[in-house]
Amino acid sequence: MRLRRNVVAAGLLVLASTDASRAEVTKPPVIYHFSDESGGATSFVAALNRTLDALPTDVAEPRFAALFPESTFANNDERAATFREFVRLRALFEATRDAGFFGVRWAITNEEPASTKLWKGLEKSAPTSGLRSLVAPSVTAECDEISALFAFLATQVGVKQVGLFWPTSNHTIAAWTPALTGRHPTRILIPTTQIFQSCEAGFGTTTFKSDVQRTVYAYQVRDLAKTAKVTDGAFFLAQIQVYAPASDELLALFRLDRGQRYDTPFGACTSTHQSLITSLSSKPLSAADRAALTHYLTEERGLSSGLSSGSSVAVTLLAP
């Protein structure tokens, strides 16, 4: 695990890294088809932008309101622009974080703070046809690599104020500083792993101090060449479409379940896991949550018999 070092070059800050029953469900169709025959990564980013723009926004509103009181914004246009960025970042955060729905698993790798090797690993693990399954993780990466993957995709879809943040000398997360008119910059910390954090820590909710790093430089490294083939583009887009509209609560349950299956070191999260089971199974699920649950049970857990599709009772199948 490497300590950070500061090197300013070409206007960029380059820092080295540190760190039971089964349910009967109807398998949902592949939602998004993506061809990388000609456009390479440029084509994939364009498709990613369209996918993010088409996401429902209601599920993101409560968390956004908690992070940004109305007095934060100079006008409605500024709020709308910041909210659009938040919707995009929320989806990418849940996708790329440790045990998120891209299937990344945290472990110490001693690699540099870039996502280059993650893209290569994801390409190698891509299926030859159809969508991959997440019975096992897609790729293993350290905190700085995972944070770089998130920051890289964020900047690719137009959120330019996202960069890497070192809350300690041996740990890396991400940070977002939305541009707000005439106000002191609001720095939002984004923990892409649970290292040094509680099971509940998430987007904007950490115990790290936001001022331990004076400047957060926007992530400007190109980890994926414009002409690079994104062989698993359909998988990434379909995962975003099916999971990003789901509630934070359900996504947290999926992540803890993946973490348990991937042997990711979340720490003592059994009680949190069980609390999510209890809460979600005691109330009706939204249509988005039902769709996400069905997809998770079939695609990632391989469950196929017993209970009705998308039922909140099926949540109990994910008990620790």
Tens of each residue's pLDDT in the chain, 320 residues: 443 433 222 222 222 333 433 333 333 333 344 444 456 788 899 999 999 999 999 999 999 999 999 888 989 999 999 999 999 999 999 999 999 999 899 999 998 999 999 888 877 776 555 555 677 778 899 999 999 999 999 999 999 899 999 999 999 999 999 988 866 778 999 999 999 999 999 999 999 999 999 999 999 988 988 888 887 788 889 999 999 999 999 999 999 999 988 888 787 799 999 999 999 999 999 999 999 998 898 888 887 654 455 678 889 999 98
Backbone angles phi, psi at 293, to 5 degrees: -65, -45
Are 281 and 273 contacting, i.e. CB atoms less than 8 angstroms apart?
A: no
**Which pair of tokens denotes residue 111?**
């690699």
Q: Any idea where the domains of the chain sit in the sequence?
A: 6-19+35-245
Are 13 and 217 contacting, i.e. CB atoms less than 8 angstroms apart?
A: yes
**Which pair of tokens denotes residue 119?**
């893209």
For residues 156 and 287, what is the distance between their CA atoms, to the nearest angstrom?
Answer: 30
